[in-house]
């Protein structure tokens, strides 16, 4: 039985406790529902409406090609029929989709005005991959301290295309303000989420957000209830999403050069596509007890879904995410068997926690980068400024999501054996 925050009920079959909805959010949703019942204020997720709004907001019309249309249509059908969006979630999704469509329009315009963008090489990019909750964010933010590496920042992920009006010398890019407002909104909607995964306007963010511009979106699969879209997504060739990622990275490098530093767990499922599009990529794969990871990940995604919906079923989330985790590491092992190991470096979560600077130096050696003493000192200062549980403690239990730890351990046994991953106590 799903949690239903619209009536403040919680399921008896699950121990997962949803955080209380902020009073202002409850009031807004209640008011919008009342208006919708009398035919007022319905927020459209119609394709033509979204495309028209993107064209109005950008002042542009040419998308370049229509490859995004089928993924968008399938996504919209699931949002309407399956996602159980509350009114504010519906508003947020509409604005997100309009922004993505407007970004596609602006990217197309920039490629026509500046044909040199598509000739920019994405040379030896670095991608951190690994199951969720295995230290990928920590490594990503530490490696961002290295000046030769160029991470995607959160404000760039929201708006990778620069504004049409140039920023005056010494001025501030308006995209930063947009991201700061988005961070503030998330803190209002779900303040507890920052204890799980901090989303900060000026910090590095996952490059999966750039793939969302293709509407072949693992973000939707993970953060919304969209089973029809998800089933289609996992059966579909995701090469277009990785080609979109490359075009977005070229655009980012045109604005600020450097060796691209990316991060997202989703790449585990698509290492073949990643290496097809970025054949000289260097991949850092993190490893941690997957049974311990599963509980944390399920908790994170339940909290994430509650940003958009009042109805979330923790057991449904648990089944979906754990199946996906097993599929991801299995696929990655198969790809690595076929492709060989020179492009990969394995990093243990336990080693990162015990000696983060030592592991960063090991990674930089793999990347043929010699860090300066000043860079290492800045990394140490970053660690001091960002202690564990800086935003609060994250509590979770595997049984809250209907997962049998014994069966899950069996499912992960080949992966754990290959990388000699030690068990962690579930109640730690």
pLDDT value, residue 120: 98
Mean pLDDT of 98-123: 97
Take residue 385 and report the two structure tokens written for it.
């400024």
In angstroms, how far is CA 184 from the centroid of its own chain?
18
Q: pLDDT at position 186, please?
A: 81
Q: What is the pLDDT of residues 157-183, one digit of tens each?
A: 999 999 888 877 778 999 999 899 988
**C-alpha 178: how far from chain center:** 18
Please write the tens of the pLDDT for every residue from 357-393: 999 999 999 999 999 999 999 999 999 998 875 555 6
Residue 9 clears pLDDT 50, i.e. is over it: no
Q: Which residue has the higher pLDDT, 397 or 40?
A: 397
Q: 281 pLDDT exceeds 70?
A: yes
Name the CATH topology of 123-164+175-419: Rossmann fold (3.40.50)
Residues 23-28: what's their mean pLDDT? 72
Say if strands 311-312 and 3-4 run parallel, antiparallel, or are unpaired: antiparallel
Give the sheet arrangement for strand 259-263, strand by strand: 149-151, 259-263, 126-130, 282-287, 344-348
pLDDT of 44 over the 60 cut: yes
Cα 126-373-383 angle, rounded to 5 deg: 70
pLDDT value for 4: 59
- Both tokens of residue 216? 């072949």
Candidate from 46-55, 129-138, 354-363, 384-393 with smallest mean pLDDT = 384-393
204/351 Cα distance (integer angstroms): 22
What is residue 8's predicted lDDT score, i.e. its pLDDT? 46
Distance separating alpha carbons of residues 342 and 407, to the nearest angstrom? 33
pTM score, whole prediction = 0.91
pLDDT digits (tens, 9 = 90+) for 282-327: 999 999 999 988 988 888 888 889 889 989 999 999 999 999 999 9
- Which of 161, 253, 261 is closest to 206 using CA atoms? 261
Q: Are strands 311-312 and 259-263 parallel, antiparallel or unpaired?
A: unpaired
Higher pLDDT, residue 283 or 28 = 283
As a whole number of angstroms, the distance between CA 30 and CA 33 comes to 5
Span 194-234, pLDDT tens digits: 667 678 999 999 999 999 999 998 888 888 999 999 999 99
Three-state SS annotation for the chain: CCEECCCCECCCCCCCCCCCCCHHHHHHHHHHHHHHHCCCCCCCCCHHHHHHHHHHHHCCCCCCCCCCHHHHHHHHHHHHHCCCECHHHHHHHHHHHHHHHHHHHHHHHHHHHCHHHHHCCCCCCEEEEECCCCCHHHHHHHHCCCCCEEECEHHHHHCCCCCCCCCCCCCCCHHHHHHHHHHHHHHHHCHHHHHCCCCCCCCECCCHHHHHHHCCCHHHHHHCCCHHHHHHHHHCCCHHHHHHHHHHHHHHHHHCCCEEEEECHHHHHHHHHHHHHCCCCEEEEEECCHHHHHHHHHHHHHHHHCCCECEECHHHHHHHHHHHHHHHHHHHHHHHHHHCCCCEEEEEHHHHHHCHHHHHHHHHHHCCCCCCHHHHHHHHHHHHHCCCCCCCCCCCCHHHHCCCHHHHHHHHHHHHHHHCCCCCCCCC
pLDDT at 190: 72
pLDDT mean across residues, the chain:
89
- The answer to whether the CB of 62 falls within 8 A of the CB of 108 is yes
Q: Identify the weakest region by mean pLDDT among 217-221, 336-340, 352-356.
A: 217-221
77-108: per-residue pLDDT in tens?
Answer: 999 999 999 988 999 999 999 999 999 999 99
Give the pLDDT mean for 58-80.
Answer: 96
Q: Residue 408: what pLDDT?
A: 94
Strand partners, 311: 4
Over range 230-251, report the average pLDDT. 96
**Gap between the Cα atoms of 392 and 219, Å rounded:** 24
Radius of gyration of the chain (CA): 21
């Amino acid at each position: 039985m799903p949690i239903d925050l619209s009536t403040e009920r919680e399921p008896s079959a699950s121990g997962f406790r949803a955080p209380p909805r902020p009073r202002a959010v409850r009031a807004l949703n209640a008011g919008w529902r009342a208006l919708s019942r009398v035919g007022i204020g319905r927020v459209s997720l119609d394709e033509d409406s979204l495309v028209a709004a993107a064209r109005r907001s950008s002042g542009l019309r040419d998308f370049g090609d229509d490859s995004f249309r089928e993924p968008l249509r399938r996504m919209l059908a699931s949002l309407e029929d399956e996602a159980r969006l509350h009114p504010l979630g519906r508003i947020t999704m509409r604005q997100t989709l309009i922004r993505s469509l407007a970004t596609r329009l602006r990217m197309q315009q920039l490629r026509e005005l500046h044909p040199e963008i598509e000739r920019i090489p994405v040379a030896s990019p670095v991608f951190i991959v690994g199951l969720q909750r295995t230290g990928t964010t920590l490594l990503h933010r530490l490696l961002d301290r290295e000046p030769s590496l160029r991470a995607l920042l959160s404000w760039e992920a929201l708006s990778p295309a620069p504004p049409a009006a140039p920023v005056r010398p010494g001025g501030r890019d308006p995209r930063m303000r947009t991201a700061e407002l988005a961070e503030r909104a998330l803190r209002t909607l779900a303040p507890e989420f920052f204890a799980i995964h901090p989303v900060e306007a000026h910090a590095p963010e996952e490059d999966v957000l750039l793939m969302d511009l293709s509407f072949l979106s693992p973000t939707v699969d993970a953060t919304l209830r969209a089973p029809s879209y998800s089933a289609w997504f996992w059966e579909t060739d995701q090469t277009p999403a990785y080609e979109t990622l490359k075009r977005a990275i070229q655009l980012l490098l045109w604005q600020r050069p450097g060796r691209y530093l990316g991060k997202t767990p989703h790449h585990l499922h698509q290492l073949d596509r990643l290496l097809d599009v970025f054949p000289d990529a260097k991949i850092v794969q993190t490893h941690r007890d997957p049974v311990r990871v599963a509980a944390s990940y399920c908790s994170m995604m339940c909290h994430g879904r509650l940003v958009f919906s009042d109805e979330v079923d923790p057991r449904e989330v648990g089944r979906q995410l754990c199946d996906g985790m097993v599929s991801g590491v299995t696929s990655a092992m198969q790809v690595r068997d076929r492709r060989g190991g020179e492009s990969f470096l394995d990093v243990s979560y336990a080693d990162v926690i015990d000696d983060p600077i030592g592991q960063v130096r090991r990674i930089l050696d793999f990347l043929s980068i010699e860090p300066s003493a000043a860079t290492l000192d800045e990394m140490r200062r970053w660690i001091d400024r960002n202690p564990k549980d800086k935003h609060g403690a994250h509590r979770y239990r595997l049984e809250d999501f209907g997962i049998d730890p014994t069966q899950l351990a069996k499912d992960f046994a080949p992966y754990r054996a290959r990388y000699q991953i030690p068990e962690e106590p579930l109640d730690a």
